[in-house]
Amino acid sequence: MNRKSLAIFGLILTGALGVAYGQGGWYPQNSGTTLYLFDVHGASADTAWAVGLSTTVLRTTDGGAEWLPQNAPPSSWLTGVHFVDTQMGWAVGSAGKIIRTTDSGDNWYDQPSGTSYTLWDVFFADELRGWAVGGKEQTYTPPTRFILNTTNGGASWDSQFYEFDKSPLHGVHFADSSTGCAVGDAGAILYTTDGGNTWSEQLSGFMQFRGVFLTDPATGWVVGRDGVILHTTNGGDNWDPQDSGTLTWLASVHFADGSTGWAVGGDATQATILHTTDGGANSMPQVSGTANSLSGVHFVDENIGWCVGLNGTILHTMNGGMAPPDVTITLTPYGAPIVIPASGGSFEYNVVITNNEASPQTFDAWVMATLPGGMPYGPVQGPVQVTLPGGGMVSRDRTQSVPAFAPPGIYTYTAFIGVYPGEVWDSDSFEFMKLDTRQ
């Protein structure tokens, strides 16, 4: 993210270029790219990676306030990424590409996969044992599907499963180092209980799958075309449909525990985010705030997660994607309309914050100024952390100085509450004018 500094209002302000404010519980973050992002993995509340077209690898170390590109060995695209901690991770993609890092992505190195076909997903149970899945598409004759395995951190990859005339596999996930599941086209569901030494195919009756997640050796979910969600509680002996309430593609699924999970996807006109708190018995849509379809979702706990997708979309939540608490902020300027002389001056205003919830709420409050010409700068006040009891309200009078060297024109003065800098629960604003020497 490009940043600028400007001394205005008596403060050194950092230009908040690229900060996007969202609705609901999901908030856009600036990826710095319009390329398709296929997958995302969060290793902590602060650190995450996203991968996509043209060997795109992005990393954040501040919860997504800033995403920066990393250098990786070239490929057409990277489709899957997995980290076992904040330092060690792998990404896979086109032409059998496998890359590894041991320093949080500062350096990425090729690993030999033994295949020239696309690898769609990767998962590691620990720093040594991992699996990658892929295949040759149906447009080729014959198509293939395969599963690769490593027991030495990717220094060497061996074929565990390979079949001709079968459509590719697109997703893989393990509950532990022994029990895992791989899914793909033509309704493929493969299950292992011995670390992949043997894979048994389980018939699903459906056509195309993209994502899979296991919370324990018996319990898992598969998602795919036409909004399909399948659920097992007996290690895949039975896969039962769950009502998603959508017919859009579901491309990725993640569960924080046996009850709480998310599935994401979409189509050419919309994004889909589904949330469940009862193991998928009921799934409710969440507001995404974007029309770009989503292809990857990952959570570090039941609250903090990311989604990625079309046009470089990155969405972030710190409350499980739920709608924000009902807390409001109101600004009332004194002496409106406010006109600041060319020589500078100040204005006063009142701010009221009200917690309309029954329970206490803790949040940030800050003020941004939009300069003449539309450039946002700030915060000019805050951020400060505020805690209000249920039904509580706070009212304060504030003074804002405007120096003589502030550019002339119309300013918008906006106060926000939420989680600084990008997760806004509510906001309010007013305008003021700064005269120049000719007025």
Predicted confidence at residue 38, as pLDDT, reads 98
Residue type, 79: T
List average pLDDT for each run of 10 residues in the chain, which is 439 residues long.
36 39 77 98 98 97 96 93 98 97 98 96 98 86 92 98 92 98 94 97 83 98 96 95 96 98 95 98 95 98 97 95 94 97 97 97 96 93 96 97 94 94 90 86
Residue/partner pairs of 93-96 with CB below 8 Å, 24 or more apart: 93/51, 93/55, 93/118, 93/119, 94/118, 96/134
- Reply yes or no on domain 20-317 having CATH 1.10.357.10: no
At residue 439, the pLDDT reads 56
User: In degrees rounded to 5, what are phi and psi of residue 55?
Assistant: 55, 35
- What is the topology classification, in CATH, of domain 327-434? Immunoglobulin-like (2.60.40)
In the chain, where the domains are located: 20-317, 327-434
Find residue 189's DSSP bridge partners.
183
Report the distance separating Cα 240 and Cα 275, nearest Å: 18
Which residue from 40, 390, 389 is spatially nearest to 211, judged by alpha carbons?
40
Q: What is the rounded CA–CA span in Å between residue 37 and residue 30? A: 13
What pLDDT is recorded for position 23? 52
Per-residue pLDDT at 24: 62
How many angstroms separate the Cα of 218 from the Cα of each of 21, 26, 149, 239, 321? Answer: 40, 31, 22, 11, 27
